[in-house]
Amino acid sequence: MIKAILIFNNHGKPRLSKFYEHYNEDTEQQIIRETFHLVSKRDENVCNFLEGGMLIGGSDYKLIYRHYATLYFVFCVDSSESELGILDLIQVKVFVETLDKCFENVCELDLIFHVDKVHNILAEMVMGGMVLETNMNEIITQVDAQNKMEKSEAGIAGAPARAVSAVKNMNLPEMPRNINIGDISIKVPNLPSFK
């Protein structure tokens, strides 16, 4: 079982949090902070597993994470999940690549502004803490089909809203300058494939 999936940046700011067990908001924030603390102090070239923190898990739980450019992707899993399998899931086959495909060269800004879309993609991959689909093409197909539906529903009524959001987004390209984070696209590093 996967207990939680967290994405946060190098400063510990949450970009996506998905808990498959209920915690109240404060605990959730504490977990994110604790996890960030655990993960961020690790060197780049150490292994990607570490024992769970105090708040989340227990002896049976592990944190499995990957660090890409500005983002940490952390899965908290119990012993029924294969460590290498989850690592694959994060990167080589599924999650990050799917994001990459759906957002066309995903960067932190995509996650910041479209967290709902990331949730929708994640929902096609993991459901209720269990891995639902590991085939990237299948995930993309389903996500696309749903987005298409959404567009067709918006129809004429959606037009003005779309226009406004286009206007609003006109100054989007400047945004990175305002934010001091820079848009660093997530490059999938050349890691040995575990396929």
Partner 1 sequence: MALKIVKGSIDRMFDKNLQDLVRGIRNHKEDEAKYISTCIDEIKQELKQDNIAVKANAVCKLTYLQMLGYDVSWAAFNIVEVMSSSKFTYKRIGYLAASQCFHESTDVIMLTTNQIRKDLSSPNQYDTGVALTGLSCFVTPDLARDLANDIMTLMSHTKPYIRKKAVLIMYKVFLKYPESLRPAFPRLKEKLEDPDPGVQSAAVNVICELARRNPKNYLSLAPLFFKLMTSSTNNWVLIKIIKLFGALTPLEPRLGKKLIEPLTNLIHSTSAMSLLYECVNTVIAVLISLSSGMPNHSASIQLCVQKLRILIEDSDQNLKYLGLLAMSKILKTHPKSVQSHKDLILQCLDDKDESIRLRALDLLYGMVSKKNLMEIVKKLMLHVDKAEGTTYRDELLTKIIDICSQSNYQYITNFEWYISILVELTRLEGTRHGHLIASQMLDVAIRVRAIRVFAVAQMATLLDNAHLLTGNMQRMGICEVLYAAAWICGEFSEHLENPMQTLEAMLRPKVATLPGHIQAVYVQNAAKLFATVLKNQEGNTDSTAAQETSQLMIDRLPLFVQSANLEVQERASCILQLVKYIQKLQQKDVEVAEEVCALFAGELNPVAPKAQKKVPVPEGLDLDAWINEPPSESESEDEQPKAIFAKEEPKHSRPRHTEVDEKELARRREARKQEQANNPFYIKASPSSQKAYQEAPGVEHIPVVQIDLSVPLKVPGLPMSDQYVKLEEERRQKERADKKKKEKKKRKEKRSGRGRKHDSGPESEEDITPAHMVDIVTEEMPENALPSDDDDKDPNDPHKALDIDLDNLLEAAGRRPLADSEKLPVRAHRAAEAPKSPAEDGEAENAASQEPKKKSSKEKREKKKDKDRDRKKSKEEKKKKKHKHEEKGEDLLGGQADEPVVQSEETNEVAALPTSTSAEVSDLDFWLSNAPVPSNTQEAATVAEAAPVPEAASGTAPDSEPEEPKDTEMEETKSSKHKKKKQKKEKEEKEKKKKKKHHHHHHHSDGGGEESVQNGTVEEEEPLPPMSNYCLLAENSYIKMVYDIQGNLQDGSQVVVSVIFENKCDSFLKSMEFNVLDSLNSKLQRPEGSGPHDGLTVPFQLPPGVSNEARFVFTVQSIVMPQKLKGTLTFIVKNEDSSTHEKLDFKLHFTCTSYLITTPCYSDAFAKLLESGDLKCSSVRLEGVIMPFHHLLARICFHHHFSVVERIDSCASMYSRSIQGHHVCLLVKTSGQTVSIDAKCDEPTLLGNVLDEIKQTFSQC
Residue 170 as a binder of partner 1 (CB under 8 A): the answer is: no
Among 11, 24, 170, 190, binds partner 1 (CB under 8 A): 24
Return the ∠ at Cα 50 (arms to 192 and 116), rounded to 5°: 80
Reading the block at residue 82, the tokens are 């294969």
Nearer to partner 1, 50 or 55 (CB): 50
- Containing H/E element for 4? strand 2-9
Q: List the alpha helices (DSSP H) in the chain.
A: 25-40, 83-90, 95-103, 108-113, 115-125, 136-154, 159-168, 175-179
Residue 171 one-letter amino acid: N
153 binds partner 1 (CB under 8 A): yes
Per CB under 8 A, contacts with partner 1 among 66-85 are: 80, 82-85
Cα separation of 20 and 4, whole Å?
6
Residue 144 is a binding residue for partner 1 (CB under 8 A): no
Using CB under 8 A as the criterion, what x/- string covers residues 93-132 for binding partner 1? -------------------xxxxx--xx--x---xxxxxx
The reply to whether 176 sits near partner 1 by the rule CB under 8 A is no
- Provide the pairing of β-strand 14-19 with 49-51: unpaired
Q: Is residue 32 within 8 Å of 12, Cβ to Cβ?
A: yes
Binding site for partner 1 (CB under 8 A): 1, 14, 16-18, 20, 22, 24-26, 28-29, 43, 45-50, 80, 82-85, 87-88, 112-116, 119-120, 123, 127-135, 138, 142, 145-146, 149-150, 153-154, 156-158, 160-161, 163-165, 168-169, 175, 178-179, 191-192, 194-195
